[in-house]
Amino acid sequence: SLLLSPSAWGRAAGVLTLLLLLSRAPADAEELVAQTEAGPVRGVRVPVGSGHVTAFLGIPYAEPPLGRLRFQRPRAPRPWSGVLDASAYRHACYQYVDTMYPGFGGSEMWNPNREMSEDCLYLNVWVPSPRPRNASVLVWIYGGGFYSGAASLDVYDGRYLAHAEKVVLVSMNYRVGAFGFLALPGHPEAPGNVGLLDQRLALRWVQSNIRFFGGDAGAVTLFGESAGALVGCGGGGGGNDTELLGCLRAKEPQELIDKEWSVLPHQGIFRFAFVPVVDGDFLADTPEALLSAGGRPEAQVLLGAVQDEGTYFLVYGAPGFGKDNESLISREEFLGGVRLGVPHANELAAEAVVLQYTDWLDQDNPVKNREALDDIVGDHNVVCPLMHFALRWAERGGTVFAYLFDHRISLHGWMEISLCRWMNGAVDGQMATWWVEDMDGQMDEWMETTWGRTDGARAM
């Protein structure tokens, strides 16, 4: 038998470790670089759990919409020479910044965490390690009422889902507010819906390039929240649109953001200034008309609502509501809240809403009034449209899955904070302290598995 001294064993172990590291180095370096049709990109290894994934951050999918390209349709990016550094997020798109509750993380976590710029049309790709072949692809589209949102937010860190479910995950920035949804009907340089056209161009990028990252272009699932379920119909004004467009292009971005809300004709809750419009191109008709036309839908859809859908918006303007009080609502505040909750309703319709949502045996109960206003705003803007869409989709022969999410995380009481690890990468840097309840962890794992599964319906 061969006997080695302790020092010899140490030297042998060191040599073996070095050889293993050297053998892995080329493979690791290869994982960090991916080709795209516009040029190669170099990503960065990011830790997750006991392993890691490769993140390719800030890949351009469109030409920067600067100067005369403001308000215009996105254009494909120009090719580049050399290897593009894709190790860090790029700019967030210009948008309204929430200053309602300064210093409060529950609201500020949704504000852009990168410098804002009109040069913002970039996407991110998270790839499991080792790089897969023909893995399912999930594409995340953030919400924000078409006036805010950024793919770089900590809550949208894709490493967790990519690692846990071995999927390739993609997210993208798209233009919001006036920059993404100013519509001058008939004017080719401000057609409206360019924020949606940004999304479409990013999806075309996925179809053309995701194979370079180990993804299957034939197994792509779209998922998102909030703004993805809202469609508004706007009309054009009179006057000279060319002069108006020239004036708007001459303004500083922040000037446009500051004036966005002034275009709304009614004061109300859950109202958005610039939204998708029926343009005859991207949206050929209203969603209702499109649901009534055509044959059997091919796509399977998963739709969902959460308990208390209206609460988030009530604390931004409804009388009596606030984040730091119990929001005990008087009868007078309830009636005022109804007018804000359904601002387009005439007197008869508003009275019908009051009749439907009032407990007439206990109409002065402040808790019931609070819950009723929450139901009115949530039903009117989210739940009823969602269920209407699901029923119409099913009537046409489409497959629909639906859920109601009513789990409340044990430590955080603020609305719209997701339970999933993949959407909570490092909120306040304290993610580990969140998982103190077994039920929270079980729910987290169940959602990761369900949302990331590769069989059955995965679109939401």
Domain boundaries, the chain: 30-296+406-414+426-434
Judged against a pLDDT cut of 50, whether residue 232 lies above it is answered with no
Is pLDDT above 70 for 429? Answer: no
Q: How many CB atoms lie within 10 A of CB 342?
A: 21
Return d(Cα 73, Cα 190) in angstroms, integer. Answer: 8
pLDDT tens digits for 141-154? 999 889 999 999 99
- Tell me the C-alpha distance between 427 and 423, whole Å: 9
CATH 3.40.30.10 fits domain 30-296+406-414+426-434: no
Mean pLDDT of 296-319: 85
Each residue of 336-391: pLDDT tens digit?
A: 999 989 988 899 999 999 999 999 999 999 999 999 999 999 999 889 989 999 99
Q: Which residues pair with 60 in a beta bridge?
A: 122
Token code pair at residue 221:
């699932």
pLDDT digits (tens, 9 = 90+) for 400-418: 988 888 877 665 555 444 4
Task: Count Cβ atoms within 10 A of the Cβ of residue 332 and give its class: 0-12 exposed, 13-18 middle, 19 or more buried.
Answer: exposed
Host H or E run for residue 108: helix 105-108
Tokens 């599964």 belong to residue: 453
Q: What are phi and psi of 348, to 5 degrees?
A: -65, -45
List pLDDT tens digits, range 208-220.
Answer: 999 999 999 999 9
Give the model confidence (pLDDT) of 21-61 as tens digits: 454 555 567 889 999 999 999 999 999 988 999 999 999 99
Question: Which is more confident, 429 or 7?
Answer: 7
Tell me if 207 sits within 8 A of 126, measured CB to CB. Answer: no
DSSP element (H, E) containing 17: helix 6-31
Integer Cα distance of 155 and 274 in angstroms = 25
Name the least confident of 3-17, 183-197, 285-299, 441-455.
3-17
Percent of the chain at pLDDT > 70 equals: 81
pTM strictly above 0.95: no
